[in-house]
Amino acid sequence: MYNTKAYSAGSATSPFAPTVISRRDPTEHDVQIEILFCGICHSDLHTVRNEWSDLMRTVYPCIPGHEIVGRVTKVGSAVSKFKPGGIGAVGCMVDSDGTCPECHAGFEQFCPNMVLTYNSPDKHLGGVTYGGYSDSIVVDERFVLRVPSNLDLAGAAPLLCAGITTYSPMRRWGVTRDKKVGVVGLGGLGHMGVKFAHALGAHVVVFTTSPHKKEDALRLGADEVVVSRHADAMQKHASSFDFILDAVSADHDINAYLQLLRRDGNLTLVGAPAKPLAVAAFGLLLGRRSLSGSLIGGIRETQEMLDFCGAHNMTTDVEVIPIQKVNEACERLLKSDVKYRFSIDMASLKSE
């Protein structure tokens, strides 16, 4: 074991504070990474505030962070994909059994023995796993991704969650040229949804509660922007969408969006509000519409997404911050005040 610096939250209401944690020495299949950038996902906030306690209780101290890019510092003897000095990336998962039907199908995110990057039982050290708000991490090579060399690393880090979570359902539901696609909520996930839908050739409409985000939405690739509080503007799009991606982090009325789907259209939820959402039956019955969910993406598809971003020279729009500003950043994220992802420059942790 070795020690590394990190920022942790001691309870659901405590701010983040500096700490020192232990990481395992790399085993033969492990890659040790010096973390250069880590994005701040709204899931970090839900977890730190224990908002998903019905599904998974948060264990404290909690060290979130699952949008990790860094420099490889050491590799185990059996590692073939990475060498010291190269760049490696880690997303929401650090392990799975590798043997079940989900793993064989490339859906590690649904493996019954999947280990999340943070707040999952740590089978090596006991306790729970600790995420990327830290200086260094050790991860099985199967869960380390390659970052195309043309991508800016601060902007690439959030692709590991915000990127794959929006890319995967768009591929699954056939977002292509000439499809009409809606994206609800212009945050970290939403703005990547806009970029992917645009890159895939769709006609993209952004639904936002923040009128001041309109210019940005158009710049990011939206063809139209609707302020969702304006009922008339919403009504103009009734029964017209092939696909809508809902990336809202808080309670909201999804029926307002279901009625915008055309026959056989689909609304996929990726946002994960703490409370259940109400669904009006006729919103689905009329037009044979469907409502579904999607959880990040498997490792193979995550690499495909990174390569897609490399080919299209795409990254997330980031505000790079030192880790000392993490509490302020979380306050701003709660107010939907970020353009459009915070990426922590982990060099700031070295100076502590």
Q: Is the peptide bond before 2 cis (omega within 30 degrees of 0)?
A: no
73 binds, among Zn ion, ligand NAP, none (CB under 5 to 8 A by kind): none
CB of 75 vs Zn ion, minimal distance in Å: 24
Nearest approach, Cβ of residue 184 and Zn ion (Å): 17
CA distances from 4 to 18, 258, 301 (A): 11, 47, 31
Contact call for residue 103 and Zn ion (CB under 5 A): yes
Q: Tokens 């939405």 appear where?
A: 217
Q: Which does 289 bind (CB under 5 to 8 A by kind): ligand NAP, Zn ion, none?
A: none
Q: Is 96 in the site for Zn ion (CB under 5 A)?
A: yes
Q: Which does 103 bind (CB under 5 to 8 A by kind): ligand NAP, Zn ion, none?
A: Zn ion
Within residues 143-172, the interface with Zn ion by CB under 5 A covers: 161
Should residue 100 be labelled a site residue for Zn ion when binding is judged by CB under 5 A? Answer: yes
Q: Which of the choices Zn ion, ligand NAP, none does residue 250 contact, using the CB cut-off of 5 to 8 A by kind?
A: ligand NAP
Which stretch in 96-104, 168-176, 203-211, 283-291 sits in contact with Zn ion by CB under 5 A?
Answer: 96-104
Question: Judging by DSSP bridges, how do beta strands 290-293 and 261-269 pair with one another?
Answer: parallel
Binding site for ligand NAP (CB under 6 A): 41-43, 46, 161, 165, 185-190, 208-210, 213, 247-250, 252, 270-273, 294-296, 333, 336, 338
Structural tokens at position 13: 């209401």
Which of Zn ion, ligand NAP, none is residue 287 near (CB under 5 to 8 Å by kind)?
Answer: none
DSSP letters for 150-193: TS-HHHHGGGGTHHHHHHHHHHHTT--TT-EEEEE--SHHHHHH
Q: Which of 351, 352, 343 lies closest to 319 in space, CA to CA?
A: 343
Cβ–Cβ under 8 Å, residues 129 and 24: no
Least distance from C-beta 350 to ligand NAP, angstroms?
Answer: 26
Convert residues 20-49 into a mask of x (bound to Zn ion by CB under 5 A) and - (unbound): ---------------------x-x------
Helix, strand, coil percent values for the chain (each to nearest 5): 30, 30, 40
